[in-house]
């Protein structure tokens, strides 16, 4: 009986160490431990449509530091589910010292009810060179 208990304990230790090393290898292989962005900490897209059909759009990007990004170019596309493009415009994002972020806001009066999707592309520049391109989206219904 004692031999069986020792054998079970050894097998348990072997199997548990195998699964731990396997998990670490899988995490390294997928790049989970790598940084997600080059100069950006986070970005957020917001689309809010009022009951009267006014679409309010906000796109924000927070840099990792005050010096990691010089300029952000933001393209906002607003589409209806039928494929109609309501807005496709590129902006130079304004820096907000208050919020420590680059911000773009816009609004559009909608004429058709239904689901709208806002797609946002951020192009981030440092010293005139493109360092990263990010995308995000949000949806709302009118």
97 vs 17, which has greater pLDDT? 97
Instruction: Return the structure tokens found at 78.
Output: 């607003």
Prediction pTM value: 0.74
Q: Output the 3-class SS for 42-97.
A: EEEEEEEECCCCEEEEEEEEEECCCCCCCEEEEEEEEEECCCCEEEEEEEECEEEC
Q: How far apart are CA 57 and CA 79, in angstroms?
A: 13
Q: In this predicted model, which residue has the larger pLDDT, 28 or 10?
A: 10
- Record the tokens describing residue 48, joined without a space: 């809010």
CA-to-CA separations, 50 to 35, 86, 106, 122, in angstroms, rounded: 37, 16, 14, 26
- For range 24-29, the mean pLDDT: 38
pLDDT digits (tens, 9 = 90+) for 93-135: 999 999 999 999 999 999 999 999 999 999 999 999 999 999 9
Say yes or no to pLDDT of 36 above 60: yes
């Amino acid at each position: 009986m004692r031999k069986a208990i020792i054998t079970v304990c050894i097998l348990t230790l072997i199997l548990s160490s195998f699964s731990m090393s396997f998990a670490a290898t899988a995490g390294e292989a997928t790049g989970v431990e790598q940084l997600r962005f080059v100069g950006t900490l986070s970005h957020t897209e917001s689309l809010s449509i009022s009951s009267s059909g006014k679409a309010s759009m906000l796109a924000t990007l927070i840099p990792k530091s005050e010096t990691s990004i010089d300029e952000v170019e933001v393209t906002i596309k607003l589409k209806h589910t039928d494929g109609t493009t309501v807005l496709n415009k590129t902006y130079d994002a304004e820096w907000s010292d208050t919020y420590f972020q680059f911000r773009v806001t816009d609004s559009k009066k909608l004429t058709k009810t239904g689901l709208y999707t806002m797609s946002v592309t951020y192009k981030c520049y440092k010293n005139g060179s493109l360092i990263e391109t990010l995308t995000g989206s949000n949806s709302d219904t009118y």
